[in-house]
Amino acid sequence: MSLSTLPNNSPTLNNTISTLSLDFTVSFSQFETAIKQNISIDNITGIYGDSGSGKSTLLRVIAGLEKQAKGQVSFNEVTLQNSEKRDFVKAESRNIGLVFQDSRLFPHLSVYENLAYGAKRRKNPKLTIEEVLTLTQLTSLQYQNVSQLSGGEKQRVSIARALLAEPKLLLLDEPFSALDKTTKSQMLTFLKTIQQQLQLPMLYVSHSLSELQYIAEQLVVVSAGKISHVAPIHQAIHYLNNRGETSVKTSLSLTIAEHLPEYGLTRLKFNELQSTEQSIYLPLLALNSQRSDEESLIGQQLPCMIYARDISLCLTEPEHSSIVNHLPATITAIDYNNTNALITLKCAEQVFYAQISLWSAIRMALVVNANIYLQFKANAVHSYHYTGSITHA
């Protein structure tokens, strides 16, 4: 099985939404994390924040690893802790999984034995170790000693081990931040596939917006020990754009329409909801045109991201350009900075951000509500989707 095959069941099918109810404070020396929020977890919810913002603490409280937290935590109406009533469900009894950044595999056990560790202690087993070995493509590594594994393999074992404990909620604390970009891309694609197959709600902590943009459907923004924003992923990223905290980007999900191997491109189209026939092209997703399963990607949603600095504007339709993508749009806002101007545009219902020089903004005499064309190269469209098969390098 290649990872580029997304499962056929639609994400909305037999999907139950889990609810986390959080109201707690926890302090370490001078830093206090105070969280008061109900979070509905649909598929994967991302938790974003800088290092030291309190996002890992949030995860550890949910996991039951911070006993000194004051206040209460409940999951799907079941109280996990309540400091007033002196209730505390221990970590081992919460039925919540946690994948750590540093994998924390047991060094005295083989890959298989690490997986068996989780499997042995669960109540109502549904998955078998063999199934999970296949799912996580670890079958050939099962007799290995864990110290011989690569970083990506370690994290796959760590995820497989957590899955075999069959938790009701899986927490992931920066699971791929130590990996190189290619491996990270493999792992994100792989995790998303697993999530959709098992319908297991996940909370995914990261300080990388691009990772979260690909993996999460909803984003919780944590800063200075508090939750500052909760929104669907694209809205949340656009909200962060406006706060000026990250490099400004357009975040959107598009449907894969067709592969054009002769041009080296894949064509994406907007959702049916958005009343436009426009297409966006990006470098061909299926690297190997011989692969029979490349067709199966068609019709799937692909989260992608375009940096504002990669989008340029044109007053007329740029038909005679090497730049592949150009779309008609309407300017909805112009913000001038010291060195450049940030132009917010709308193409159908989709918002785009373009960052151009002050000089260009003045020369082109841009105004709000003006109709204009935006253009960007195919390789300005970024997606973490991994199209190769996982290698055991």
Q: Give contact residues for other proteins (rule: CB under 8 A).
A: 63-65, 90-93, 95-98, 100, 102, 104-110, 112-113, 117-118, 121-122, 142-143, 145, 147, 161-162, 165
**102 or 180: CB nearest other proteins:** 102
Identity of the amino acid at 387: T
**112 or 384: CB nearest other proteins:** 112
Least Cβ distance, residue 127 to other proteins (angstroms): 14
**34 or 91: CB nearest other proteins:** 91
Least Cβ distance, residue 97 to other proteins (angstroms): 6
CB 381 within 8 A of CB 304: yes
Least Cβ distance, residue 146 to other proteins (angstroms): 9
Here the tokens at position 344 are 């917010």
**83 or 101: CB nearest other proteins:** 101
**147 or 316: CB nearest other proteins:** 147
Least Cβ distance, residue 143 to other proteins (angstroms): 6
Least Cβ distance, residue 235 to other proteins (angstroms): 32
**107 or 262: CB nearest other proteins:** 107
**119 or 285: CB nearest other proteins:** 119
**143 or 369: CB nearest other proteins:** 143
Question: What Rg, from alpha-carbon coordinates, does the chain have?
Answer: 23
Least Cβ distance, residue 100 to other proteins (angstroms): 7
Least Cβ distance, residue 180 to other proteins (angstroms): 23
Least Cβ distance, residue 198 to other proteins (angstroms): 17
CA dist 187 and 79 (Å) reads: 33
Strands 18-28 and 70-75: antiparallel
